Structure 1
Amino acid sequence: CPPPDSSDSELELSTVRHQPEGLDQLQAQTKFTKKELQSLYRGFKNECPTGLVDEDTFKLIYSQFFPQGDATMYAHFLFNAFDADGNGAIHFEDFVVGLSILLRGTVHEKLKWAFNLYDINKDGYITKEEMLAIMKSIYDMMGRHTYPILREDAPLAHVERFFQKMDRNQDGVVTIDEFLETCQKDENIMRSMQLFENVI
């Protein structure tokens, strides 16, 4: 089916003033205090007066943090990971729930979130292609100038290493169980997950 007319959806986004669910409910869902939630909401409303962030706005905000590279692709994947219901917009609730996991979640919760990021088509498996797409987007975002030593094939080598460790039954895809088990056992992967947190 044809994509909806973008000017229509923009109009819709700017006219719908999204009201977040009660702070009490969000406090129960996240690991933030009421005060923290109020302060996050103020910041969110400041950047996004409608209470909703579309993908273009998200890319714009995100690229400011990585002026040395091109963050467009990584921001696209990240947006999809935050947009829990897949409706093309991030509500304050989506944002705060994701942020709570990334900042204060258990290792298990963080890894599940990371798996969801890597599983681009959300079919429950990570393929080499999906992991490569994410890796390339991270390398692009970090910028060639920052890491001039990185060769063109560096993301591919990274993915090959990851897959050798993770794909336990050698069926060419990584399941959530394989992902969780390997990550938690492997010191290096856990370290690179820390690095991954800094990216976010």
Structure 2
Amino acid sequence: YDICLADDGELSTVCYRPEGLDRLVQQTNFSKKELQVLYRGFKNECPSGVVNEETFKSIYSQFFPQGDSGMYAHFLFDTFDIHSNGTVSFEDFVINLSIILRGSITDKLNWAFNLYDLNKDGCITREEMTDIMNSIYDMMGKYTYPSMKDNAPKEHVDSFFQKMDKNNDGVVTIEEFLDTCQKDENIMQSMHLFDNVI
């Protein structure tokens, strides 16, 4: 399972060994077989065993050629980069994927909150939500939704805070977020959409 590669023909060699699959079976909701398949795909795409932010951005730009996905990919990368070291390892990748695809509703909501909480201080500000919304609209591209008004992201943020910010203090805490989402039928239904993807 060792992967080694020389950096740009230099002598420095980066070696990377994924932690035991057994441990990942315990840490995720994937079976050993699924992890092996995921690992093969990951190794294929990322021979070095890790993904950097540029790789994330190039993957997203292929999925959303009609828009600018750079900012959204940056936010997503930050969430996947569990150890905040500028790279996403196979472990980081499957732990995040496991939450998104197989996690409990609470796990998924916590993950989403963490994505929106850009500076990871435990609450979502209007600025953070606005940045995320703008990045999503940029990624979708003007041509996908030509009827989309320029103030759509702002309206989205306003309704988010109106719904979520229970004590009107201008920030949404994880408690407010979980409480509101779990009482909202539409949000709960959309959280189930991804359950059977893999």
Q: TM-score higher than 0.5 here?
A: yes
When residues 191 and 157 of structure 1 are mapped into structure 2, their CA distance, relative to the original with a 3 A threshold, is farther
State the match for 1:5 in structure 2. Answer: none
What does 1:109-128 correspond to in 2, within 5 Å? Answer: 109-128=107-126
Paired with 2:182 and 2:168, the residues of 1 have a C-alpha distance of 19
Q: 1:18: Cα distance to partner? A: 1.7
Percent identity for Structure 1 against Structure 2: 69
Query: Structure 1 residues 62 and 146, CA, compared in 2 at 3 Å: closer, same or farther?
Result: same
| CA drift at 1:37 | 0.3
Alpha-carbon deviation of 1:66?
Answer: 1.1
Distance in 1 of aligned mates of 2:87 and 2:168: 37
8 Å contact kept, 2:114–2:120: yes
Per-residue deviation at 1:190?
3.6
Does the 8 Å contact 1:18/1:91 carry over to 2? Answer: no
Is the Cα–Cα contact under 8 Å of residues 70 and 143 in structure 1 kept in the other structure?
yes
**Structure 1, residues 28-80: CA drift from partner, whole Å, max 9, x if none?**
00010101100100100111000011101111112111112111110000000
More helix by share: 1
Amino acid at match of 1:93: E
Residues 66/195 of structure 1: CA separation in 2 closer, same or farther (3 Å cut): farther
| Partner Cα separation in structure 2 for residue 80 and residue 37 of structure 1 | 23
**CA RMSD between the two structures:** 2.2
> How many equivalent residue pairs?
188
State which of 136, 144, 147 in structure 2 corresponds to 1:146: 144
Task: Specify every segment of 5 or more residues in structure 1 that has no aligned partner in the other structure, as ranges.
Answer: 1-8
Q: Secondary structure at the match of 2:15?
A: coil
Q: CA deviation at 1:180?
A: 0.5
Q: Give the one of 60, 63, 66 matched to 2:61.
A: 63
Q: Is the strand fraction higher in 1 or 2?
A: 2
Aligned to 2:4: none
Q: Give the superposition deviation at 1:189.
A: 3.4
Asked whether the 8 Å contact 2:134–2:153 carries over to 1, the reply is yes
Give the gaps of 5 or more residues in structure 2. Answer: 1-6
Q: 1:137 to 1:128 in 2, by over 3 A?
A: same
CA distance in 2, matches of 1:11, 1:182: 53
Conserved 8 A contact 2:116-2:128: yes
Larger mean Cα displacement after TM superposition, 150-159 or 58-67: 58-67
